[in-house]
């Protein structure tokens, strides 16, 4: 009986530890943020609220956020949905290679995307110079504009929409399509009257997610908007904090709340529309047979690969060429090309080489922490379902669902003063970035773990239980080995995302705790595009190597865990 | 070894009552089958005994120790019961030997002893030399054997089987049935065996508990269940019994009484306390019906299904078209659809008046 008590003690201890950690990473910062808005600096007052909301720059930035948010979302939905339809419903060839490349922009940090496109179209573009199309030096880069931001947001998040709609299309039972065709409807009619209506839940969900991502994006409006003095809420917050320091924290807390509200509005609108249309597909049968494109196939394929060329290959080429240019505006040829930029950022520039070490450490720590916590957390959420486990799941989602600026401001507020009782001071150190990363990226390992657990027969755990194994042992010897592939894939995703992260670290970094994202941003702001490009090239290379390496292990993974694998 | 007492157990899932007031008293070393249609609560009962679900009322006692009940709830890992799961639940990331040896490892049995016992367990299920294989590389029958070995290696006092043969083809089933019977004989372990297959239950079990919509319909030996069903559900569920309205004309004498069924008078078996009454039901089976030239009940044939060597005839009494009858007609005799014939009831059982289940 004492044995039984000990087991139950372990159970309770595990639940308590997991709950406390999740609360500390999610509820606590959000609560602190909320407190700051109603009671700035600890006293109830509406002064911060008033001063933030009465400033015209606030409303201009809000308007801009909505503008690029809606524009970027529309473009992303259009792009992602049409590509998903083509990939899923037609007989194009080289499907998985195409998907791998089409999804890649999602894994490349927004600021790297922005930099790459800027290099491609700018007056100093080595690429345009190579083909003799460069505008004169000193002319304005066309991407420094609202349209430019919308275009890049569309390119960045089109793949996100693609993934969701594609997953929906995979579940479309072929009988529904075949029933339509055999009642005499043509392919277009079937697409319009059967497939698209059935896909509305996926498309709506994807739209909401794209909107939240566009509104919360920092890298693209920072690179394209700040030079044109076109500010959205995240960049406004950044400028305020960079200019005036912590004294404006109460005010920027209000601004971050505004973004939070806009993002939430998107999610709630999606929830509302999704609930009014219940198109649940019941059967799980074979996917529909692809429509033959016939003689148009080659043309469609050519268009799709052209898309890859424009969306991925050319910008990255632009990036690479810029990284090889010795100085701004110098035309690139075999004689002038140099590896000096790479040498400089890796070995000579202190902050840059420090940033590599910092980012590698931070993303490794975030990935390992998330993997370790995701397994017991996912286990509680899926296999120990109680009324409060749903709440645990929501809490873990929150720091990722809300724009990164919100979490960054919340972390600043939380750690501006030393932690009470223990007196720990992590403000202006790398540890505050680590805290925010742990909070933000946990869910990227949690989601695949939950997917994985849902696909595992619970009897496997029960068999271990009747064999006498306690909870800790079951987690270690049965549950972890079974979900490990999915969880580790989530860990890789975290590493890739955190490695070149900018939104959170732009607000939290200090001298000594620079991240790669921050260094790219600083170089670009200081006009050293070649250095920024050199770092970006390395980041992209590492990302691709990781993608391809994980692909090798893909057959051990539940489907849908690796976004880039079709 | 341990007996199992299930006392007045009730289990709700939200509003749904999965089990209601179920009591079973299983003797030490007994082989008990739990039989019932799909969804009647068999798995729920087994999970309650194993400790995976918590009961709402009643108690479960294993080997004289209260495992579930007011104030007590021993977690599954401390109950020392073994389970053979329907889909085997073998751990795919372990070898056969690791699967089988897991509970010994948990119990900190030293390596040499563990290996020896794993070896013995595998030998018992005829899987010598399979230790290094992975479950994925085994056939369905072999996986079932591994599951059995994994269960018996810990010498549990009580073994639970949840429809262990449901996923196997017909030939393997017969072989595994023999294997289970041999396992029981050899180890003398108390066994609770869940199935929806009557033939399986009858062949294996000392006693069968029939569940119906979460209630215990009857708990008795296979022979009693067949010959003396306690209520209409058991009567019609077991071996396709027909439940017919009847008047009992006399009280029981020497275990039988006079009965009038559909106008025909006959003598049926009954309980010793049976009394004359007019609202009785009786249970007859296809074997108890004979086609006769005169007398008996006038019937009309609805359908004739050729069964090889004879036909199954479905018919109804001319006077009572709402009652379904069926019986077997050996070749060469034939009855076409719409034909009329006469049936005599040779024997049958008077279903006792409604009361609690069991004897
Ligand atoms: N965890 C659960 N939650 C809700 N209902 C359940 C749960 N488990 C079983 N049930 C319901 O209880 C009933 C009995 O289920 P079960 O014991 O699995 O039946 P059987 O094994 O006899 O087929 C079914 O109607 C089932 O839907
Ligand atoms: Mg069942």
| Statement: residue A171 has pLDDT above 70 | yes
| Statement: residue A495 has pLDDT above 70 | yes
| Statement: residue B160 has pLDDT above 90 | yes
| Statement: residue A209 has pLDDT above 90 | no
Chain segment A245-280, per-residue pLDDT in tens = 778 888 888 888 888 888 888 878 777 776 666 555
The shortest CB-CB distance from B89 to any of A3, A457, A477 is to A457
Measure the CA–CA gap between A288 and A174, rounded to whole angstroms.
4
The better pLDDT of the pair A302, A389 is held by A302
Whether residue B87 and residue A457 make contact (CB cut-off 8 A), yes or no, is yes
Q: For chain B, what is the largest distance between any 2 Cα atoms, rounded to a whole number of angstroms?
A: 78
Look up tokens 């505004």; give the residue: A258
Whether residues B25 and B133 share a domain: the answer is yes
The alpha carbon torsion through A58, A60, A61, A65 (nearest 10 deg) reads 130
Probe target for ligand 1 pocket from B43, B56, B212, B214, with the most ligand atoms within 8 Å of CB = B43
Q: Atom 14 (ligand 1): residue with closest C-alpha?
A: B41
Cα A69-A526-A533 angle, rounded to 5 deg: 70
Tell me whether A455 touches chain B (CB under 8 Å): no
What average pLDDT is seen over chain B? 91
Measure the CA–CA gap between A80 and A369, rounded to whole angstroms.
33
pTM > 0.90: no
**pLDDT-based confidence at residue A373 (cuts at 50, 70, 90):** very high
**C-alpha distance from residue A267 to each of A66, A205, A206, A444, A500 (Å):** 14, 8, 10, 18, 26
Pocket of ligand 1 (CB under 6 A): B 13, 16, 18, 36, 38-44
| Statement: residue B357 has pLDDT above 70 | no
**C-alpha distance from residue A128 to each of A278, B67, B272 (Å):** 50, 79, 105
The per-residue pLDDT for B358 is 39
Whether residues B192 and B296 share a domain: the answer is no
**Measured between beta carbons, which residues in chain A are less than 8 angstroms from residue B74?**
4
Boundary residue ending a domain (B196, B227, B258)? B227
The per-residue pLDDT for B356 is 45
Look up tokens 């051990």; give the residue: A556
Please state the rounded mean pLDDT for residues A447-464.
88
The per-residue pLDDT for A282 is 52
| Statement: residue B39 has pLDDT above 50 | yes
| Structural domain containing residue B115 | 4-227
Measure the CA–CA gap between A101 and A91, rounded to whole angstroms.
18
| Statement: residue A3 has pLDDT above 60 | no
Ligand 1, residue B214: give the atom nearest the CA: 14
| Statement: residue A283 has pLDDT above 80 | no
DSSP annotation string for A208-230? HHHHHHHHH--HHHHHHTGGGT-
List B244's β-bridge partners, or say none: B282
Distance B163 CA to ligand 2 centre (A): 7
Q: Are A503 and A408 in contact (CB under 8 A)?
A: yes
Distance A67 CA to ligand 1 centre (A): 52
Tell me whether A5 touches chain B (CB under 8 Å): no
Please tell me the least confidently modeled range out of A239-243, A280-284, B159-163.
Answer: A280-284
Alpha helices in A90-131 (DSSP H): 95-107, 110-121, 126-130
Boundary residue ending a domain (B227, B251, B266)? B227
Distance B228 CA to ligand 2 centre (A): 27
How far is A474 from chain B, CA to nearest CA, in Å? 10
Tell me whether A469 touches chain B (CB under 8 Å): yes
Phi, psi values for residue A513, rounded to 5°: -115, 40
Neighbouring C-alpha atoms within 13 Å toward the C-beta of B141: 15
Whether residue B78 and residue A460 make contact (CB cut-off 8 A), yes or no, is no
| Statement: residue A1 has pLDDT above 50 | no
- In chain B, the number of structural domains is 2
Give B166's DSSP letter.
T
**C-alpha distance from residue A53 to each of A107, A254, A410, B121 (Å):** 35, 8, 19, 75
The per-residue pLDDT for B324 is 93
Q: Are B235 and B351 in contact (CB under 8 A)?
A: yes
Chain segment B95-130, per-residue pLDDT in tens = 999 999 999 999 999 999 999 999 999 998 889 999
**Measured between beta carbons, which residues in chain A are less than 8 angstroms from residue B107?**
468
| Statement: residue A220 has pLDDT above 50 | yes
What average pLDDT is seen over chain A? 85
Q: Atom 20 (ligand 1): residue with closest C-alpha?
A: B39
Residue B147 lies in a domain: yes
Q: Atom 25 (ligand 1): residue with closest C-alpha?
A: B39
Q: Are B281 and B345 in contact (CB under 8 A)?
A: no
- Structural tokens at position B275: 């009394």
Measure the CA–CA gap between A270 and A212, rounded to whole angstroms.
11
The per-residue pLDDT for A158 is 93
**C-alpha distance from residue B254 to each of B251, B258, B274, B280 (Å):** 10, 12, 11, 19
The interface residues of chain B toward chain A in range 312-341, judged by CB-CB distance below 8 A, are none
Please state the rounded mean pLDDT for residues A459-482.
91
Q: Which of B327, B340, B264 is nearest to B296 (CA)?
A: B264
The per-residue pLDDT for A422 is 79
The per-residue pLDDT for A276 is 65
Whether residues B48 and B74 share a domain: the answer is yes
| Statement: residue A523 has pLDDT above 50 | yes
Exposure string of B180-219, with b = 16+ CB inside 10 Å and e = fewer, is beebbeebebbbbbbbbebebbbebbebbbbbbebbbbbb
Residue B99 lies in a domain: yes
Whether residues B139 and B277 share a domain: the answer is no
The per-residue pLDDT for A83 is 93
Q: Which of A65, A230, A60, A75 is nearest to A140 (CA)?
A: A230
The per-residue pLDDT for B154 is 86
Strand pairing category for B215-220 and B256-261: unpaired
The interface residues of chain B toward chain A in range 118-177, judged by CB-CB distance below 8 A, are 150, 154
User: Which chain A residue shows the shortest CA-CA distance from B101?
Assistant: A467
How many whole angstroms from its chain centre is CA B162?
11
3-state DSSP assignment of residue A554: helix
Chain segment A27-51, per-residue pLDDT in tens = 999 898 888 888 877 777 777 778 7
ipTM of the complex: 0.80
**Measured between beta carbons, which residues in chain A are less than 8 angstroms from residue B80?**
468
Residue B180 lies in a domain: yes
**Measured between beta carbons, which residues in chain B are less than 8 angstroms from residue A452?**
none
Distance A499 CA to ligand 1 centre (A): 47
The per-residue pLDDT for A190 is 82
Whether residue A469 and residue B150 make contact (CB cut-off 8 A), yes or no, is no
Distance B37 CA to ligand 2 centre (A): 9
Whether residues B204 and B284 share a domain: the answer is no
How far is A489 from chain B, CA to nearest CA, in Å? 18
The shortest CB-CB distance from A460 to any of B74, B91, B106 is to B91
Whether residues B199 and B260 share a domain: the answer is no
Measure the CA–CA gap between A234 and A219, rounded to whole angstroms.
9
Chain segment A47-94, per-residue pLDDT in tens = 777 877 888 889 999 999 999 999 999 999 999 999 999 988 888 888
Classify residue B287 as exposed, middle or buried by CB count within 10 Å of its CB (0-12, 13-18, 19+): exposed
Please state the rounded mean pLDDT for residues A298-316.
91
Whether residues B137 and B211 share a domain: the answer is yes
Percent of residues, chain A, with pLDDT higher than 70: 94
Chain segment A404-452, per-residue pLDDT in tens = 888 999 998 888 888 777 778 888 889 999 999 999 999 889 988 888 8
The per-residue pLDDT for A485 is 83
Give B329's DSSP letter.
E
Whether residues B165 and B76 share a domain: the answer is yes
Please tell me the least confidently modeled range out of A344-348, A369-373, B157-161.
Answer: A344-348
Whether residues B215 and B278 share a domain: the answer is no
- Which residue pairs from A531-534 have beta carbons closer than 8 angstroms and sit at least 24 positions apart in sequence? A531/A341, A531/A344, A531/A345, A531/A349, A531/A352, A532/A115, A533/A115, A533/A116, A533/A119, A533/A319, A533/A320, A533/A322, A533/A323, A533/A341, A534/A323, A534/A341, A534/A342, A534/A344, A534/A345
How far is A465 from chain B, CA to nearest CA, in Å? 5
- Structural tokens at position A54: 């009465």
Distance B17 CA to ligand 1 centre (A): 9
**pLDDT-based confidence at residue A305 (cuts at 50, 70, 90):** very high
Please state the rounded mean pLDDT for residues A154-176.
85
Domains belonging to chain A, first-starting first, are 1-43+340-566 (1.10.3720.10), 46-329 (1.10.3720.10)
Boundary residue ending a domain (B204, B227, B250)? B227
Whether residues B178 and B279 share a domain: the answer is no
List A73's β-bridge partners, or say none: none
Measure the CA–CA gap between A197 and A184, rounded to whole angstroms.
18
Please state the rounded mean pLDDT for residues A172-194.
77
Q: Are A31 and A408 in contact (CB under 8 A)?
A: no
**C-alpha distance from residue B134 to each of A467, B82, B99, B130 (Å):** 19, 21, 9, 9
The per-residue pLDDT for A500 is 87
Whether residues B201 and B178 share a domain: the answer is yes
| Statement: residue B359 has pLDDT above 50 | no
Tell me whether B93 touches chain A (CB under 8 Å): yes
Tell me whether A295 touches chain B (CB under 8 Å): no
Chain segment B327-344, per-residue pLDDT in tens = 999 988 888 899 999 999
The per-residue pLDDT for A4 is 52
Please state the rounded mean pLDDT for residues A524-552.
88
User: Which chain A residue shows the shortest CA-CA distance from B155?
Assistant: A467
Please tell me the least confidently modeled range out of A201-210, A350-359, A552-561.
Answer: A552-561
The per-residue pLDDT for A395 is 86
**pLDDT-based confidence at residue A454 (cuts at 50, 70, 90):** confident
Whether residue A470 and residue B77 make contact (CB cut-off 8 A), yes or no, is yes
CATH number for the domain spanning B262: value is 2.40.50.140
| Statement: residue A7 has pLDDT above 70 | no
């Amino acid at each position: 009986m004492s044995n039984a008590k000990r087991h139950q003690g372990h159970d309770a201890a595990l639940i308590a530890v997991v709950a406390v950690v999740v609360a500390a990473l999610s509820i606590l910062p959000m609560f602190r943020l909320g407190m700051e808005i109603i009671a700035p600096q600890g006293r109830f007052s509406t002064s911060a609220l008033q001063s933030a909301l009465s400033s015209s720059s606030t409303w201009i930035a809000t308007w801009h956020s909505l503008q690029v948010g809606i524009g970027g979302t529309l473009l992303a939905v259009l792009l992602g949905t049409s590509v998903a339809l083509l990939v899923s419903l037609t007989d194009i060839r080289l499907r998985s290679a195409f998907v791998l490349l089409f999804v890649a922009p999602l894994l490349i940090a927004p600021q790297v995307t922005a930099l790459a496109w800027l290099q491609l179209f700018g007056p100093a573009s080595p690429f345009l110079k190579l083909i003799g199309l460069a505008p004169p030096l000193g002319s304005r880069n066309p991407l420094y504009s609202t349209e430019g931001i919308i275009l890049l947001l569309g390119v960045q998040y089109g793949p996100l929409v693609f993934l969701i709609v594609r997953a929906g299309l995979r579940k479309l039972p072929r009988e529904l399509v075949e029933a339509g065709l055999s009642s005499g409807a043509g392919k277009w009619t079937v697409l319009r009257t059967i497939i698209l209506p059935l896909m509305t839940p996926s498309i709506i969900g994807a739209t909401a997610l794209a909107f939240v991502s566009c509104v919360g994006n920092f890298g693209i409006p920072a690179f394209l908007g700040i030079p044109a003095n076109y500010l959205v809420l995240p960049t406004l917050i950044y400028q305020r904090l960079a200019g005036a320091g912590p004294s404006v924290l109460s005010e920027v807390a209000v601004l971050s709340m505004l973004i939070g509200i806009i993002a939430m509005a998107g999610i709630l609108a999606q929830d509302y529309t999704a609930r009014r249309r219940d198109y649940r597909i019941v059967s799980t049968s074979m996917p529909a047979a692809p429509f033959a494109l016939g003689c148009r196939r080659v043309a469609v394929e050519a268009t799709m690969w052209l898309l890859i060329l424009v969306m991925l290959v050319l910008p990255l080429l632009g990036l690479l060429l810029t990284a090889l240019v010795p100085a701004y505006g110098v035309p690139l040829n075999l004689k002038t090309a140099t590896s000096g930029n790479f040498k400089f950022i890796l070995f000579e520039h202190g902050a840059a080489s420090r940033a590599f070490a910092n980012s590698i450490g931070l993303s490794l720590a975030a990935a390992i922490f998330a993997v370790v916590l995701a397994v017991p957390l996912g286990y509680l959420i899926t296999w120990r379902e109680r009324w409060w486990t749903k709440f645990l799941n929501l809490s873990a989602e929150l720091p990722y669902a809300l724009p990164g600026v919100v979490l960054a401001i919340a972390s600043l507020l939380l750690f501006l003063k030393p932690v009470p009782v223990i007196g720990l001071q992590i403000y202006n150190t790398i540890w505050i970035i680590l805290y925010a990363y742990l909070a933000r990226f946990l869910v990227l390992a949690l989601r695949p773990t939950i997917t994985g657990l849902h696909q595992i027969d619970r009897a496997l755990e029960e068999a271990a239980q009747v064999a006498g194994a306690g909870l800790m042992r079951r987690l270690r010897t049965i549950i972890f080995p079974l979900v490990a592939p999915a969880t580790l894939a989530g860990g890789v995703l975290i590493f890739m995302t955190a490695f070149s992260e900018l939104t959170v670290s732009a607000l939290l970094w200090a001298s000594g705790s620079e991240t790669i994202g921050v260094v790219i941003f600083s170089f670009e702001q200081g006009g050293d595009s070649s250095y920024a490009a050199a770092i970006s090239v390395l980041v992209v290379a590492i990302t691709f190597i990781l993608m391809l390496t994980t692909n090798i292990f893909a057959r051990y993974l539940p489907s849908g865990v690796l976004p880039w694998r079709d | 070894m341990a007996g199992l007492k299930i006392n007045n157990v009730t289990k709700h899932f939200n509003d749904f009552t999965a089990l209601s007031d179920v009591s079973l008293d299983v003797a030490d070393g007994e082989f008990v089958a739990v039989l019932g249609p799909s969804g009647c609560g068999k798995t729920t009962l087994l999970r309650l005994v194993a400790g995976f679900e918590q009961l709402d009322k009643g108690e479960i006692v294993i080997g004289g120790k209260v495992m579930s009940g007011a104030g007590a709830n021993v977690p599954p890992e401390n109950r020392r019961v073994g389970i053979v799961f329907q889909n085997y639940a073998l751990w795919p990331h372990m070898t056969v030997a690791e699967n089988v040896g897991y509970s010994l490892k948990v119990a900190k049995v030293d390596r040499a002893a563990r290996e020896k016992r794993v070896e013995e367990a595998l030998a018992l299920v005829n899987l010598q030399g399979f230790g290094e294989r992975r479950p994925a590389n085994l056939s369905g029958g072999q996986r079932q054997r591994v599951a059995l070995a994994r269960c018996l290696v810990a010498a549990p006092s009580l073994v639970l089987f949840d429809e262990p043969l449901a996923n196997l083809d017909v030939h393997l089933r017969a072989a595994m049935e023999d294997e289970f019977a041999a396992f029981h004989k050899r180890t003398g372990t108390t066994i609770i065996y869940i199935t929806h297959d009557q033939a399986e239950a009858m062949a294996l079990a000392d006693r069968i508990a029939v569940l119906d919509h979460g209630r215990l319909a009857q708990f008795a030996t296979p022979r009693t269940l067949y010959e003396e069903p306690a209520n209409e559900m058991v009567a019609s569920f077991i071996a396709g019994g027909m439940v017919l309205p009847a008047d009992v004309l006399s009280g029981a004498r020497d275990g039988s009484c006079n009965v009038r069924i559909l106008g025909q008078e006959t003598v049926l078996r009954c309980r010793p306390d049976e009394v004359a009454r007019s609202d009785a039901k009786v249970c007859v089976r296809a074997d108890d019906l004979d086609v006769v030239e005169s007398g008996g009940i006038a019937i009309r044939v609805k359908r004739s299904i050729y069964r090889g060597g004879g036909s199954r005839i479905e018919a109804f009494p001319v006077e009572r078209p709402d009652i379904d009858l069926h019986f077997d007609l050996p070749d060469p005799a034939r009855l076409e659809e719409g034909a009329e014939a006469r049936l005599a009831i040779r024997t049958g059982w008077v279903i006792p008046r409604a009361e609690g289940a069991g004897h």
